[in-house]
Amino acid sequence: MQVILAKPRGFCAGVNRAISIVHQALERFAPPVYVLHEIVHNTHVLEELRQRGAVFVEELEEIPKGAVTVFSAHGVSRAVADQAAKLGLRTIDATCPLVSKVHRRIIRLVNQGYDVLVIGHKGHPEVEGTCGQVDGNVAVVSRVAEIDTLDVRDPERVGYVTQTTLSVDDTEELLKTLRRRFPHISEPERTDICYATTNRQAAVRQLCDEVELILVVGSKNSSNSNRLREVARLRQTPAYLIDDAGEIDPHWFAGIQRVGISAGASAPEHLVTGVIEWLKRQGPVTVAEMAGGEEHVSFHVPELEG
């Protein structure tokens, strides 16, 4: 069997930053350190942090007064930040800087009198955090079919932002429909879909031309990991989303000689290594990494005061 590794794959700068903030908080303050929601959507990352003393909660009321509390990489609404202050929590914001950029844009649009469309998955933490930055006229759009029924105050004063982890292909279809209905819609100078999401999807598209099956390493609730699987399937390449090698079904590989492996932006590289080791135990395997650009993006990790 020939295995080709997607490039790039795995951790992005925002995930690295968020995980580093939790590690630093655990080192600087005595555990437990509380984290509102999953810091990133990966079960292995969460378990490793739990072992060090991180406690993940879904509601602020679960956190003792005065406790150190980290907001996840997906960001939170203003109401959540205000509630944390009222509860006397010591908060640390690990929101990805690219998500924060989307927050600034939606605030600016609302202040300028626009109705704002948030393109993304309803109920996703990032989408809820983005919508919660403003009190203006905001609607979440997930499907093309929803666009015709949108109720806006002024079709000439409509803008949009997007969730950073969307499918580039799916979003383009949504945007084409939005532009037809709102010819003067205000668009960001550059797409809100982050560089890591775009690069990983492009690598999987290229991988589809070289392999017969693709394994995407990532957790089931990871938006960007699910999008990688969808990118492959849209190109008629069988693809499976797995948390780790333990979820592999040997029957997938009947008659398969060329396998591609990618990983979502919140999946650590050691999980990819585990998948390769599993494949090697099944028989002779050669491993190569596809040609691809290096990512040199990094985000500043703030020093936490003791």
Q: Please say if 126 is a catalytic residue.
A: yes
Query: Which residue out of 38, 126, 128, 230 is catalytically annotated?
Result: 126
Burial of 288 (0-12, 13-18, 19+ CB in 10 A): exposed
Which letter, b or e, does each residue of 105-124 get, where b requires 16 or more Cβ atoms within 10 Å of its Cβ?
bbbebbeeebbbbbbbeeeb
Q: Which residues pair with 162 in a beta bridge?
A: 119
State how far the Cα of 93 lies from the Cα of 70, in Å rounded to an integer: 6
Residue 71: name the closest of 107, 27, 17, 120 by CA.
17
Residue pair 34/60 in contact (Cβ under 8 Å)? The answer is no
Q: What is the 3-state secondary structure (H, E, C) of 184-223?
A: CCECCCCCCCCHHHHHHHHHHHHHHCCCCEEEEECCCCCH
Residue pair 262/218 in contact (Cβ under 8 Å)? The answer is no
Peptide bond before residue 155 is cis, with ω within 30 degrees of 0: no
* 3-state secondary structure at position 304: coil
The amino acid sitting at 1 is: M
Peptide bond before residue 183 is cis, with ω within 30 degrees of 0: no
Active site residues: 126
